A and B are shown apart, each in its own frame.
Chain A
């Protein structure tokens, strides 16, 4: 079968072009969501007359009603519905769904083009990071002095939980969402994702999730932190229902996105792009979503059991009804530790990708990079109970879990070797993306070493639940992960927006954020070692110095992030126009014009070598003539010829 035949579209039967789907957008989605939420609230209110659980049942039904109504009103179910009644989408309908010739309006519709979805993810991620960052500023302001009284205990406890959850969800999507969607299909030489409608579905589910998540703040808050430990979650107010429903929606979104990205990468790489010629960033994204596929169903299962507990009196986690809080913790951390690598691997892989470009050298030992990623993926599902050393669950297993945890440091060291080896004797071009590589190495070595302390059981007995842990995982998820995402954003910004990021404001923001970051979390290590627990609204005067340092550092981060936000908005609007390949990179996304046309490639590329041939003599033989496949041609028979 030739490439051309692969792209032949089946003739579509029935149904004229158009229909109601052309009138649907985010506005009709919100309207339908509110209507269905209201209906669900009234109907379920009548049905559930059990007074113990009535509040929670009504709240949950309202939120589920909102989510389904929003997705239906947006047009997410139009395609499957028309297929079921035998009137499939016509080719013109498919092009409409892909956002053809719709300008800015396509960003507010259920649009299937992977580039639109990528931009939507980027904006959504920035909104969530902004919300989580604002909460962080409130938390740090409260902790500026031992008894500031800035926030009450209930507000504070809820803020800590919502900050954590917001940031975890945002960091999970921050690389695979924007860049996995926008860049990966371009990088592998594909016209779109394998399942474009699922792609749009995964994005809009997250939009439906956000109001549910933040409704928790108005429903009594969440008393139990982002981890949602039971049985305190069983006794919490209706805010906990919002937490559960938000997690369920997020888990569906992750599953859909994970299946889609995996299929795309495995089946849609350009001709000649063997696994040894596939760029390392594609491996990073693949590893992340493959790891998320088994991880998030664990979280979903944990929340479904909690839902049965809270809405129907199940008692899975309530000891005096035969339940087991440790069951929740095991399910939660079976998601929770792989999730750390879901966040880290694609961020570090993006930095590997761009380090080769800015050092003007091949990636050092591609093989070690790939094997390290595979080893981390494999080991990361075997370490979850190191979060439970101090819980009292199965003390005999502490030794084995310490072993698996410490073994992860070996492939993690492999990632360091690849990046340091790539920098070795390179011709270092210190752009903002490459500076993010340097910052990541600095932060990740601190995050990694402090992780080793926590993997040691006796040390963990002392440090678990203290500010030391908080500082440690901020060093990994923020210092390494978020820094990597900022580097990726700065690197691919010219391709995604067609404009260059501002140089000066980028560097000012970089130094403010990185210095502020290290000040904040070194202060937090300090108070953690001195004995301050996590998640406390006030603390002993003895810990004042470290907390004051932390808060000052946090304000630096906040200022730097605002400058970065300004830079992004201003450059997007009126930055210098970017050339097709501003960095002189060799991956395929830099061969397409700006703005990237609807089906990406006029002629599908054929790959004959990997993308890291810096400083190597060009291939002696010319590349074979690529198969000609016309963009947007429904016959797929070379409109270009």
Chain B
């Protein structure tokens, strides 16, 4: 058989036909994967409305780009083995077997080293991103909002503004905000998809999450934990408004500034 003999005759493994063609396939798949990674996630996740979401989208894109060469290795081998090494017709007991390769220390070692290095990269990146989204803001005093979930509405209370209560979320733009989240009955999950924040609302306990909204607009607040009959309807709006608009909204609700 031509290609296996060719492989054996080549003086160095990287000069073999297998290696060159596979390398080419791998490069093509990697490029396609990277292009996909740079365009599609950003597009699907929409425009970020907070510093947290910017970080989330950056991480998503970075992981996708880093994954592209890994997936490309698998895809290239799948395509190549089906294309080059496929048997025509059914096997019969007289057919010769494949080469008895029982493992190759160098190839195994390289594989393990590469996957460990990638894993380390993920970990370091993840810890850095985690400390960035979890660290309390220092620039200005954060706005504190008490969020209460109950079957099946959200209530937002503003202790800094005289305890104004609202079923819509209003946030001043570019001011850090801390949400203190709890529940009156079962577990809900407070999620603002455009801002990349989510934390469960647990009865009897308070959990926190924080972000800094940085774009004006109206976004969704959703419940991300199955909470009973009308779980799908447990939605409301998050209005990110200018600081002045926020103050006038708060006083219109009867609160103080």
A-side residues, CB < 8 A to B, are 153-154, 157, 160, 223-225, 229, 231-232, 235, 319-320, 325-326, 359-368, 390-392, 395, 398-399, 402-403, 406-407, 409-410, 413-414, 416-417, 420-421, 423-430, 438, 441-442, 445-446, 449, 452-453, 455-459, 461-462, 464-466, 526, 529-531, 533-540, 583-584, 612-616
Contact = CB atoms under 8 A, between A and B. Distances in A.
Given A398-B130, A456-B63, A536 B200 contact: no
Contact of A407 (B96, B119, B199): B119
A424 B77 contact: yes
B232 A459 contact: no
Given A368-B108, A456-B59, A325 B96 contact: no
A189 B217 CA distance: 69
Contact of A427 (B70, B85, B208, B224): B85
Most buried by B among A320, A529, A584, A616: A529
Identify the interface centre among A224, A399, A465: most chain B CB within 10 Å of its CB: A465
Interface in B204-249: 204-205, 207-209, 220, 222-232
Contacts of A427: 85, 87, 91, 95-98
Nearest to B53: A462
Contacts of B53: 462
A446 B59 CA distance: 17
A423 B81 contact: yes
A438 B205 contact: no
Given A406-B122, A428-B87, A452-B67, A615 B100 contact: yes
A150 B18 CA distance: 54
B86 to A, nearest CB: 5
B45 interface: yes
A428 B119 contact: no
A423 B59 CA distance: 34
A359 B226 CA distance: 46
Interface of B: 4, 7, 18, 41, 44-46, 52-53, 55-56, 59-60, 63, 67, 70-71, 73-75, 77-78, 81-82, 85-87, 90-91, 93, 95-104, 107-108, 111-112, 115-116, 118-119, 122-123, 125-127, 129-130, 132-134, 181, 185-187, 189, 191, 193-194, 196-200, 202-205, 207-209, 220, 222-232
Contacts of A359: 98
B91 A360 contact: yes
B226 A232 contact: yes
B94 to A, nearest CB: 10
A425 B82 CA distance: 10
Nearest to B122: A406
Given A423-B81, A458-B52, A462-B53, A529 B44 contact: yes
B115 A413 contact: yes
A531 B86 CA distance: 43
A368 B103 contact: yes
A367 to B, nearest CB: 7
A533 B126 contact: no
